[in-house]
Amino acid sequence: MPYDVGISGERVTVISAGPAVTDSFTRSVSNAWGTATSGQAWTVTSTATDYSVTGTLGRIATTTIANLYYAVLDTQSTDQRVQVTIACPVVPTGAAITLRVVGRYLDGSNYYEATVSIATTGAATLNISRRVAGVGASVTSSVSVGSHSAGNSWTVVLDVTGSALSARAWNASTGSDPGGWQTTGTDTSLTTGTLAGCGVRREGGNTNGTQNIDFDNVSVPNPQALGVTRAVNGIVKALPAGSVVQLWSTGVLGL
């Protein structure tokens, strides 16, 4: 870096690269999550009054049992790697609490998700599932990812690239990133949907009552956002979403 790329005939110089989406929640919002640090607007499902931003965290108050709560934003790509840290203040009683990261989200009836299910014993398992036309199904079997104590935070990563789905999760309060994927699978059911985000559910039978589930350090490192110097070849054009981006010139290998 720097290097030049062409976008619809305009030559631009790339001077920086980073995640397309970041959110550190350094704002205060009621009845919504507002706008992410990187500029995308969050959309929330279910009852808006259950969502807020505290100045340091995004929060969902799980007032309704067995309700799926999601907050999503637009990554402008169907291939996504989504990472979120989620804090759960209790060990579940009665039934599990599930912490969720979603990708290739088209609407509330069509998406992929990585789910950390925290059982009443504190045992935590991870799997990848899909919802297509409102019908849910597992893509991978559940794998153990450790145990949960009251107040622990979990970092969950979901990667959706073509038909390949991968996920990993770890107790961020007691451990570190395991590095490799803990569960992988393939699925061709969903090919559209550029939204991604996170959510939670108190499963049917849970007796903890309303819990504040907190979200932080949202990152979508794939796709990337490029910082550029525009029109270095003197051509200025409108560059709508979906414009083709390619290297301006490729390297030459010696014979």
Report the pLDDT value the prediction gives residue 48, as an integer from 0 to 100. Answer: 97
Q: Which candidate, 153, 190, 144, places its Cα nearest to that of 173?
A: 153
Question: Which of 138-142, 162-166, 227-231, 250-254 comes out lowest in average pLDDT?
Answer: 250-254
% of the chain at pLDDT higher than 90: 79
CB atoms inside a 10 Å sphere around CB 54:
14
What's the pLDDT tens digit per position in 24-63?
999 999 999 999 999 999 999 999 999 999 999 999 999 9
Where along the chain do its domains lie? Answer: 19-223
Rounded CA separation 9/7 (Å) = 5
Top CATH class, 19-223:
mainly beta
Who has greater pLDDT, 238 or 204?
A: 204
Burial 129-147 (b: 16+ CB within 10 A, else e): bbbeeeeeeebbebeebbe
Who has greater pLDDT, 28 or 244?
A: 28
Provide the whole-model pTM: 0.88
Report the pLDDT value the prediction gives residue 236, as an integer from 0 to 100. Answer: 84
Task: State the DSSP code for 189.
Answer: S
